[in-house]
Amino acid sequence: MPINLGDSPNDAAWRLEVREFINENKGVFAATPDDAEGGMFGRMGAIKQWRDKVATKGWIAPSWPKKYGGAEMSVVDQFVMNEEFAEAGVPSNVGGFGVMMIGPTLIEHGNEDQKAEHLSKILRGEVIWCQGYSEPGAGSDLASLQTRGVRDGDDYVVNGQKIWTTGAQFADWMYMLVRTDPDAPKHRGITYLLVDMKSPGVTVRPLTTMANMQSFNEVFFEDVRVPVKNRMGDENRGWYVGTTTLDFERSSIGSAIGVKKQLEGLIRQAKKAGSTASFSSRASVRHEFVDRWVEAEVAKMLSYRVISMQAHGLIPNHEASMCKLFSSELGQKIALLSMHLFGMHGNTRNRASTGYVQAVSSTIAGGTSEVQRGIIATRGLGLPRG
C-alpha cells in the first residue's frame, strides 16, 4: 500500500484554511492570569471561547454526519485538522467524551429517540459524559466485568462498582457496560446502558493520584434504576456496542505531536543559562535528547501509517496498538528526560516532577502496554497466544 507523506492540492488548501482559523482565534489563550487560581479559571474561560469559535465553523464533531450536526469530514481532513491543532498547541477535542466516544456510538447503534435526546445536547456542550467500563477486577480484561444489571419491569437495577472513571465527579451522564447474563460466556451477557449520574444510588468518590490530582474516580451503584429505554442495542449484546470507536482517534496524531512539543520546550530550557546549564551540558542528557527526537519522528510516522490505511478503506488493528504503545511510552521517556535535565532540582515540586508522576498512567489508560504488546504479537506477528 503506497504511503503519501505529502498533501494533495485539496489537503494543502484545507490545511491553510485550518491554519488561518487558528491564527485568527488562538489569541483567546494569550490573556489568562498567571496566578494559580486565576490561571485555572482564565484557562477554562479561554477554552469556552475557543469552543464557541470551533462550533461556529461546525468543527466540534468533525466525523459526524451533517444531519446530526457534524462536519462529515473524511479521515484525512480530520487528521489534517487535528495535526494543525496539535502543532499550534490549541485544544482539538473540545467536545470531550460526548463527541469523541458516545456521540459516534449513538449514531451507529442508538435508536431515534436516543439520538434526539442526546446528540444536540452533546454538540452544544450542555452535558458532560463519562465512561463506565473498568472495574477493580476488570480493567485490562474488561470482559470480566461483574457490575450487575437485573431486569425489573421497565428498569434495570444496577449494583456494582466502576473505577478509574475520568471526570465522573463532573459528569451528567455515564455510558456503561453491565453484566445482565452471568451464565453466558464473558464477552456475551453484557449490556450497554446510558445512566443519569443524578440517579438515586450513584455515589462518586474521587481518587487522588501521585500528582495530587483528582481526575479519576470510583463510582458505586446501589440499586440504581436505569430505564430500559436507556439501553443501547440489544440486551446481552453490549460488548459489540462498547467496542465502537472513532477511526481517526486511532492515529494518535495528537499524542505524537504533543510529545514533540514537549521536547521543543525542554530544548528551550536546556539552552537557557543558569541552574540547568551544568545538567544539560552532560553528554548523557544530550544523547537522550537525540534519542527522544528520533523517537518523536517515529511516532509521527506510525500515525501516518494508520491514517494512510484508513484513507484506503482499511481498518488498523495491531498498527493502532503500535501507535498507542509507542507514543505513551515515549511520553514517559520524555518525562524522565525532564527530570534528568534538572538533576536533583527535578525532585522538587515543579513542572518536571509533576509531569513525571502524571506520566505513569499513560501506559495504563486506554489499554495497558502489556495488552498492546499482546495484540501486536498475536495479530501483527502471528505468534501463538501465551
pLDDT single digits (tens) 294-308: 999 999 899 888 888
Q: Biggest alpha carbon distance in the chain?
A: 71
Q: Classify residue 116 as exposed, middle or buried by CB count within 10 Å of its CB (0-12, 13-18, 19+).
A: exposed
- Per-residue pLDDT band for 41 (boundaries 50, 70, 90) equals very low
The reply to whether 270 and 225 lie within a common domain is no
Query: Could you confirm whether 249 is annotated as catalytic?
Result: yes
Domain boundary among 224, 242, 260: 242
The dihedrals phi and psi of 16, each to the nearest 5 degrees, come to -65, -40
Tens of pLDDT, residue by residue over 197-230, are 999 999 999 998 887 888 899 999 999 999 999 9
> What are 299-349's pLDDT values in tens digits?
989 988 888 888 888 878 899 889 989 999 999 999 999 888 877 776 665
Domain for residue 316, yes or no? yes
Q: In the prediction, which pLDDT does 349 show?
A: 58
**Domain identity same for 283 and 361:** yes
- The predicted pLDDT at position 230 comes to 98
What is the model's pLDDT at position 35? Answer: 45
Shared domain check, 257 and 342:
yes
Can you tell me which residue has the cell 502471528? 382
Residue 199 lies in a domain: yes
Which pLDDT score is estimated for 250? 53
Total Cβ atoms within 10 A of residue 101: 20
In a domain, 304, yes or no: yes
Last residue of a domain, one of 242, 257, 276: 242
Asked whether residue 212 falls in the same domain as residue 152, the answer is yes
Percent of the chain whose pLDDT exceeds 90? 43
Q: What value does the mean pLDDT take over residues 32-56? A: 69
| Helix, strand, or coil (residue 30) | coil
Asked if the model's pLDDT at residue 245 lies above 80, the reply is no
Model confidence over 125-153: pLDDT tens digits?
889 999 999 999 887 788 899 999 999 99
Give the domain range for residue 327. 248-380
149 and 82 within one domain: no
Integer Cα distance of 250 and 323 in angstroms: 8
The CATH number covering residue 261 comes to 1.20.140.10
pLDDT at 206: 95
Lowest mean pLDDT among 79-83, 98-102, 277-281, 368-372: 277-281
Per-residue confidence band for 251, with pLDDT thresholds at 50, 70 and 90: low
Catalytic residue among 135, 249, 295, 319: 249
pLDDT score at 341: 83
Question: How far is the C-alpha of 265 from the C-alpha of 249, rounded, in Å?
Answer: 25
Residue given cell 439520538 in the structure block: 115
Between 269 and 53, residue with greater pLDDT: 53
Check: CB of residue 246 under 8 Å from CB of residue 309.
no
What is the band of 36 on the pLDDT scale with cuts at 50, 70, 90? very low
pLDDT at 33: 52
Evaluate if residue 275 carries a pLDDT over 50.
Answer: no
Examine residue 116 and state whether it is found in any structural domain, yes or no: no
Residue 189: CATH number of its domain: 2.40.110.10
Determine the pLDDT at residue 258.
79
CA 182 to chain centre: 30
Residue ranges of alpha helices (H) inside 272-317 are 277-280, 283-311
Q: Which three cell numbers stand for residue 273?
A: 543559562
At residue 65, the 3 state secondary structure works out as coil
Side-chain half-sphere CA neighbours of 240 within 13 A? 10
Mean pLDDT across 245-271: 72
